[in-house]
Chains A and B, each alone.
Chain A
């Protein structure tokens, strides 16, 4: 499964939305379910899905699929 597909799956499950609603253009600004609480849950979910550790400082930066994919790539997730 590609990194995006894994992310899509984790995000859809965590935010309780259809996987189709998660695209590379999705961000906290255009998805209602991605609110501040959903965001915290999402950070935890991403950590566990990709077995990485996110710094508190990263939380506010990772508010779009684009930003998350970039961060994962930077962490060496492939």
Chain B
């Protein structure tokens, strides 16, 4: 509970991000009239960035959600194109020729009530023993998943399943938790199994848990019984907007650039007060009000780190003052090792953000900038419109949840790599610091590389890493000779094929393990020749001569397999100029047909041209991939 904002204040918002920050504090005063007023207000703010096409399959009235979906998309800077399937969970909409498929949705939303999935929901679940309850859960799961599979066979965008929360408490009331027939426990376990089924058996499908929305609002404020019994529409205005917002958040993640970095101001953002004036002992940060609000905010930033976002500092301050808080303040949660980069100086914020983007090696459109100063926010918004801005509230009570209105800080999926992202960036930061100790001459670079004590692990035909290898072809733009994209299924086929050799490498050094960062795919042709179909490397490891070590290792292997000549191509794109000379610099000769060729017999000859440079200081091990388990795909 924070101080409510009079709803007419929302019409003063000068931008959509500002409106996103204001609306949660006026949400309890929303109604249809206000929804329409705000939609009109949005039309005079920044232009929208595109349309979000939603299709809705529903077992209860869904059309009344329209004003709320329109408002939620308008607030996010998107236009809504919505299609409502005919009432009911009809499978005719899962046919290739259906109106739903013709709508070509980005997002297909399933608004289902439990009764539509299984008849047993019409009677108390508590009348059944655990064994029967288990059987019913199996049936519900089977039925639901087989229906969704039918829809998944069509190109209907991301599928988002919702199940209407229970409108009343469990049959056994307060005793439910004690009972071995607990409905609440049964429901919770079933939701977990449904989510698991979507995750494991259907691409781009997820369960959006409306019980979470209900918890935020409370049952009394979530359901409108008049509308339910008269129009079969369950939601109050507040709940309708909350549900619509959560749905549209998923659309934002599909349609807008992925956020990666949260760039934070320090004073009145990470703590209350100004370090330069109040001193380490004087800032508000700790167990008492208002310091506990900032402590909670920091705690939530660590939650966001778990979703794969990285934190950076962008503060106008004396660096030493801020360092003192990071190092020595007893309640400071965000420490130096949580921050992948820092700019603490008196330079303007836009310039600092540009530098941070360069240092972290991501685009400015992946930044979310958080600052308490309306002036700084306005300046960044004007100079760097691609940066999403969030202004810290002046009311400390609103501080902890300030980032909850930022849709782009949700995630659609989560890989093991995402979870360790801060660690990967930090290791890179340490490498840069370490490199700065060496001079600028080429021998200094050699000394620097040697001091990293790099270890490269090259694996051939590693079937267990299919998902990561396919992802590398999808995501790598700069260090990529041919930019050929392959999906999981194609990658698995290449790895299994006898006439293809798929090699990947991971790289470790004294600062950490970078994971799988390079891929080469070679097609074996007749008579001792082969061609290099893909050769790419993540930009995370550029500048460590890993590409050369990888290539030479691969060539050695091909030679042992009887290959005498390797053909290769450079396919120029808008982004891969970095590698235009790579083949020529590594012993490949241009041919008259525009392709490149390298004779591998020369590889064995130590006097060959490619051996003129000393071998990269990388210790390489090679192995053949075992066709074992697929690594767990966390979501």
Contacts and interface: CB of A to CB of B under 8 A. Distances in A.
A14 B230 contact: no
Interface string B61-72: 101101100000
Contact of B33 (A13, A36, A59): A13
Contacts of B31: 44-45, 47-48
Contacts of B233: 40
A41 B64 contact: yes
Given A41-B64, A44-B31, A45-B31, A16 B226 contact: no
A49 interface: yes
Given A37-B64, A45-B31, A16 B36 contact: yes
A10 interface: yes
B32 A44 contact: yes
A56 interface: yes
A41 B229 contact: no
Contacts of B36: 13-14, 16
B230 A41 contact: no
Interface in A23-51: 36-37, 40-41, 44-45, 47-49
Contacts, number: 37
Interface residues of A, number: 16
Contact of B230 (A37, A47, A59): A59
Contact of A14 (B33, B61, B229, B231): B33
A56 B226 contact: yes
A13 B37 contact: yes
Interface residues of B, number: 17
A46 to B, nearest CB: 9
Q: Name B's interface SS.
A: helix
Contacts of A59: 230
A76 to B, nearest CB: 21
A35 B633 CA distance: 48
Contacts of A36: 231
Interface in B66-81: 66-67
Nearest to B31: A48
Contacts of A48: 31-33
The SS class assigned to the A binding surface is helix
B67 A41 contact: yes
Interface string A52-70: 0010100100000000000
A77 to B, nearest CB: 16
A41 B32 contact: yes
A40 B231 contact: yes
A10 B31 CA distance: 11
B64 A10 contact: no
Contacts of B61: 37
A48 B63 CA distance: 20
B33 A56 contact: no
A13 B71 CA distance: 14
B242 to A, nearest CB: 16
B227 interface: yes
B237 interface: yes
Nearest to A10: B33
Which of A37, A47, A49 has the most chain B CB atoms closer than 10 A to its own CB? A37
B237 A44 contact: yes
Nearest to A37: B63
A47 to B, nearest CB: 8
A17 B304 CA distance: 43
A14 B34 CA distance: 9
Nearest to A12: B36
A64 B67 CA distance: 22
Interface in B217-238: 226-227, 229-231, 233, 237
Given A56-B229, A56-B230, A40 B64 contact: yes
A44 B106 CA distance: 31
A61 B283 CA distance: 62
Contacts of B227: 40
Nearest to B227: A40
A45 B67 CA distance: 12
B127 to A, nearest CB: 31
Contacts of A56: 226, 229-230
Nearest to B67: A41
A59 B228 CA distance: 13
Contacts of A10: 33
A73 to B, nearest CB: 21
Interface string B341-382: 000000000000000000000000000000000000000000
B226 to A, nearest CB: 5
A24 to B, nearest CB: 20
By CB atoms of chain B within 10 A, which of A16, A40, A49, A59 has the most? Answer: A40
A53 B307 CA distance: 44
A36 B231 CA distance: 9
A48 B122 CA distance: 34
Nearest to A11: B33
Given A37-B63, A37-B64, A49 B230 contact: no
Nearest to A49: B33
Contacts of A45: 31-33
A47 B31 CA distance: 10
Interface of A: 10, 13-14, 16, 36-37, 40-41, 44-45, 47-49, 54, 56, 59
16 contacts: A10-B33, A13-B36, A13-B37, A14-B33, A14-B36, A16-B36, A36-B231, A37-B63, A40-B231, A40-B233, A44-B237, A45-B33, A47-B31, A48-B33, A49-B33, A56-B230
The 8 closest A-B pairs by CB, nearest first: A48-B31, A13-B36, A41-B32, A56-B230, A45-B33, A37-B63, A45-B32, A40-B231
